[in-house]
Amino acid sequence: MEVILAKTAGFCFGVKRAVEKVYEQAGKKNVYTFGPIIHNEEVVRDLEEKGVRVINDVAELDGLPKGIIIIRSHGVARDVYDAINEKGFEIIDATCPFVLKIHKIVDEQSKAGASIIVIGNEHHPEVEGIVGWSNSRTYIIDSVEKAEEFCAENNEKLCVVSQTTFNYKKFEELVEIISKKGYNIDIRNTICNATEERQTEARAIASGADAMIVIGGRSSSNTRKLYEICQSECENTYYIQTLRDLDLYKFNSEGCIGITAGASTPNNIIEEVYSNVRAKF
């Protein structure tokens, strides 16, 4: 039995940076994160045990003891920054630099008169944050149906950006549909390199594997996309959060098992799964 662990599995630069910032503050008085710092239940639970409280809405700050609020890697809308400052909290910004770049593009392009198209999942916090930096008409497109139905106004300038963790092939497909409509369009591929590399490697491993294991939190958008990519190449693909979710008896003792993990999956969880799979076979 061969077990292949993806080289790109686990924390990306932005997530690692954000998590480290929170752990640096953990243990201090009145430390909060605006939303779960990353989409991984194990990490969030560990931080809660260390006294870090998750705040999901600006309204929750009313009446809370003043302290430090850490903006998660997904970023937030401009008005969230303003509201936190107005309420007297200190901000530590752990927004991924790649996401901050999108905020800048959207801010500048919308002020220049362009309408914004965000290719991404409408209810994902990163997309909600991106939309919050637009000063003009904004569209969110995440499916072929929405791309085909999209209709801009006459002479409307368009600027396209993407959620950093969106499926790269799907982004290309949706952009091609919109581009064929003949609009005045400026396309910015803002999917981060780490996401493209992770998805490409996962697809390659899954295409030659007899079984594939994808590790990550259930609420992790990028892990869900990895799972979909792997499942399209390998029917026996399993989505787990930790080793507890894995039934090793499902696997044969021959062939190849591939393992990858989302950008918010800690290395210790990946190593535990990898070590146990190898030990089993």
Distance between CA atoms of residues 173 and 150, nearest Å:
14
Fold type of domain 98-191: Cobalt-precorrin-4 Transmethylase; domain 1 (3.40.1010)
CB 98 within 8 Å of CB 120: no
pLDDT of residue 273: 96
Kindly give the pairing relationship between strand 90-93 and strand 2-5. Answer: unpaired
Measure CA 231 to chain center: 19
Closest CA to 165 of 6, 12, 2: 12
Measure CA 216 to chain center: 11
Q: What is the DSSP letter of 245?
A: G
Q: What is the pLDDT of residues 1-55, one digit of tens each?
A: 899 999 999 999 999 999 999 999 999 999 999 999 988 888 999 999 999 999 9
> Over 90: is that where the pLDDT of 130 sits?
yes
Q: What is the pLDDT of residues 194-222, one digit of tens each?
A: 988 999 999 999 999 999 999 999 888 88
pLDDT of residue 243: 95
Mean pLDDT score, 242-260: 88
Residues known to be catalytic? 126
> Over 90: is that where the pLDDT of 108 sits?
yes
Strand partners, 184: 157
CATH architecture under which domain 13-96 falls: 3-Layer(aba) Sandwich (3.40)
Domain locations along the chain: 2-10+194-280, 13-96, 98-191
The pTM of this model reads: 0.86
Q: Average pLDDT over the chain, rounded to whole? A: 94
What top-level class would CATH report for the domain 2-10+194-280? alpha beta
Fold identical between 13-96 and 98-191? no
> Over 80: is that where the pLDDT of 134 sits?
yes
